[in-house]
Amino acid sequence: MQADLKMNFFVEDLINLPKVRVRSVVREREAIFLQLGFREEEVACPHCGKKTGELNQTRTVRVRDLPISGQLVYLQIPRRQFYCKKCQQYFTEELDFIETGRRFTRRYEEYIYERVIASSVEQVKREEDLSWHQVNGIHQQVYERKKKVNWGQVKRLGLDEIAKHKGHKKFVTVVSDLEKGELIEVIDSHQQEEIAEVLLQQPLEVREAVEEVSVDMWGGFPKLIEKVFPNAQIVVDRFHVMKAVNDNLNKIRKQVKFKIKIKGAKWLLLKNQKDLKEEGLEKLEAVLKQSKRLRKAYQLKEDFREIYETTQDPESGKNKFKEWLCKAQSIYGDAVKTIRNHLNTICNYFLSRTTNGVMEGINNRLKLIKRQAYGFINFENMRMRFLSCFT
Ligand SMILES: [Zn+2]
C-alpha cells in the first residue's frame, strides 16, 4: 500500500497536472490507463464564484493524453457535477487541461496540431493510431482557438493566385504580409467582387494603414485595391515581371534548332549571369553561339534585370523600361505587350523596392504544403492548413 502511494506520487509528478491525483495505474497491451481523482473536494461555482462541495453526480470519461515513453496514455477522468445553493443551479466542474466535450487533453491536441503542421494529417494519423477525421478535427479545434480575426497592422500586402490543385484551372487568392513574410488570408475565388467581400471584413483602420499592395499582371486587381485599400500604392511584384521575361526567353530557346545539345541550357539562360561561375559561363557561351536570336534575347533579359538592380526612382525606371521595350519589341512580343500595359505599376516598385523574394517564398511554401497534404477535403480545410503554417 505504502509502495503504491509512493509510486503514484511519482506518476503524479510525471503527468504534471496540478490538482490531480493518480488513483491507479493499469497497463493493457500498448497503453497505460491512469485513473484520476482530485485533491480538492470543493470547487468554485462558475456563475457566482462561491465554493461548493455539494457533489451531485460523477461520470468518468476516457481522454487521450501525451504518450509516456512511447506508450499510449489514457486518463480516466471523473467529471464532477456540483450544485450551487446560492445560484440554485447544477454545473460541471471546469478543467484547465481539457475542453468540454473533447476526448483529448489540450496539450495532446497542441502536440498533434504542431505535428500536422510539420508533416501531414496522413502521417500523423498513421503514427498516432488515430483516424483521419480525428486528426483533422484536432487540427481544426486548435486552429479555432488560435486564429487571429483581425490582421493587425499590415503595411505591405501581397495578393497572389495559386491553383487549387496541380494543373487545375481553379484558383484561390492568397493574401500575405510582405514585411513579416506571413500568409494572412486565403480566399476561395479569383473574382474581384468575391475577393473584395472577404477583404472588406477587415476594419477600415486596418485597410487604411496598408501603404502598398503587390500584385501580378494577370488579375484584375487595380480597381479592387482602390476600393479596399484607399491609401495603397499598387506595385506589380518584381518576381512576376521577371518571370514573364524568363518564360518568354524559355519559349525562344525551345524554338532554336540546336546543333550541339548542351545539358542544363535552360537553367544557364534563366540564371542571373553574375551568379554563374567560369564553367557555367563557358557552357552558356556554347549555347548562345548557336543562335543569334537567342543571344539577343538573352542579352535583353540581362539588361532588364540590370534595370531592376540599378534604378532608384519610378521616373528613371520608366524611361529605361521604355527604351528596353523598343529594343525588345521584335524579339519579346508577348512580354513586351504585358509589360507595356502595366508600366506605371511596374515602376512603382522603385518607390520602396519591396523585395521580390517574399511572395515567391510564400508561394513555394504553399506548393509544398499542398504536395504533402494529399489533397484537402474542402476549401475551408485547405485555408486552415495554409494559415496555420504561418502562425
Ligand atoms: Zn453559484
Q: Which of 74, 47, 77, 43 is nearest to 61 (CA)?
A: 77
Give yes or no for a contact between 232 and 212, defined as CB atoms under 8 angstroms apart. Answer: yes
Containing structural domain, residue 129: 104-146
3-state SS assignment for residue 99: coil
Q: Flag whether 151 is in a domain.
A: no
Give yes or no for a contact between 105 and 63, defined as CB atoms under 8 angstroms apart. Answer: yes
Confidence check: pLDDT of 381 > 90: no
Q: Flag whether 340 is in a domain.
A: yes
Distance 83 CA to ligand 1 centre (A): 8
Vertex 271 angle, CA 269 and 273, to 5°: 90
- pLDDT for the residue 1: 44
Same domain? 313 vs 286: yes
Distance 249 CA to ligand 1 centre (A): 75
Q: Is the pTM of this model over 0.75?
A: no
Distance 61 CA to ligand 1 centre (A): 25
Outline where 236-377 has alpha helix (H). 238-255, 265-270, 278-288, 292-310, 314-328, 333-341, 343-347, 349-352, 357-373
Distance 82 CA to ligand 1 centre (A): 10
Distance 40 CA to ligand 1 centre (A): 17
Give yes or no for a contact between 80 and 43, defined as CB atoms under 8 angstroms apart. Answer: yes
Q: At 274, is the pLDDT very low, low, confident or very high (cuts 50, 70, 90)?
A: very high
Q: Flag whether 253 is in a domain.
A: yes
Q: Grid coordinates representing 286?
A: 556554347
Same domain? 89 vs 218: no
State what percent of residues in the chain have pLDDT above 70.
95
Domain total of the chain: 4
Q: What are the tens digits of pLDDT across the range 135-180?
A: 999 998 898 877 766 788 899 999 988 888 766 778 889 999 998 8
Distance 237 CA to ligand 1 centre (A): 59
DSSP 93: P
Distance 78 CA to ligand 1 centre (A): 21
Facing residues of 104 across strands? 64
Please state, in angstroms and as integers, the Cα–Cα distance from residue 349 to each residue in 238, 307, 360, following that order: 7, 12, 16
10 Å CB burial of residue 95 (0-12, 13-18, 19+) is buried
- pLDDT for the residue 166: 67
Distance 46 CA to ligand 1 centre (A): 7
Same domain? 116 vs 63: no
Give yes or no for a contact between 238 and 356, defined as CB atoms under 8 angstroms apart. Answer: yes
- pLDDT for the residue 161: 86
State what percent of residues in the chain have pLDDT above 90.
62
Give yes or no for a contact between 359 and 239, defined as CB atoms under 8 angstroms apart. Answer: yes
Give yes or no for a contact between 267 and 245, defined as CB atoms under 8 angstroms apart. Answer: no
Determine the Cα–Cα distance for residues 383 and 380; give it in Å rounded to an integer.
5
Q: Flag whether 13 is in a domain.
A: yes
Same domain? 252 vs 313: yes
Give yes or no for a contact between 1 and 8, defined as CB atoms under 8 angstroms apart. Answer: no
3-state SS assignment for residue 60: strand
Distance 85 CA to ligand 1 centre (A): 7
Distance 142 CA to ligand 1 centre (A): 30
Distance 53 CA to ligand 1 centre (A): 12
Distance 93 CA to ligand 1 centre (A): 12
Give yes or no for a contact between 161 and 149, defined as CB atoms under 8 angstroms apart. Answer: no
Distance 383 CA to ligand 1 centre (A): 41
CA 105, 124, 73, 39: dihedral to nearest 10 degrees?
Answer: -10
Which residues, other chains included, contact 386 with Cβ-Cβ below 8 Å and sequence gap of 6+? 174, 183, 186, 366, 369
Strand-pair category, 182-187 with 171-177: antiparallel
Distance 92 CA to ligand 1 centre (A): 12
Determine the Cα–Cα distance for residues 1 and 24; give it in Å rounded to an integer.
12
- pLDDT for the residue 10: 82
Q: Which of 159, 113, 158 is nearest to 136 (CA)?
A: 113
Same domain? 217 vs 244: no
Distance 77 CA to ligand 1 centre (A): 23
Determine the Cα–Cα distance for residues 241 and 196; give it in Å rounded to an integer.
24
Distance 44 CA to ligand 1 centre (A): 8
Q: What are the tens digits of pLDDT across the range 51-109?
A: 999 999 999 999 999 998 889 999 999 999 999 999 999 999 999 899 888 999 999 99
Measured in residues, the chain has a length of: 391
Distance 51 CA to ligand 1 centre (A): 8
Distance 43 CA to ligand 1 centre (A): 10
Distance 39 CA to ligand 1 centre (A): 21
Give yes or no for a contact between 290 and 260, defined as CB atoms under 8 angstroms apart. Answer: yes
| Residue at which a domain ends, from 39, 72, 103 | 103
Same domain? 233 vs 166: yes
Same domain? 296 vs 335: yes
More confident residue, 378 or 124: 124
Same domain? 260 vs 319: yes
Same domain? 232 vs 91: no
Distance 56 CA to ligand 1 centre (A): 14
Distance 22 CA to ligand 1 centre (A): 29
Distance 55 CA to ligand 1 centre (A): 13
* 37-49 mean pLDDT: 91
Chain-centroid distance of CA 116 in Å reads 13
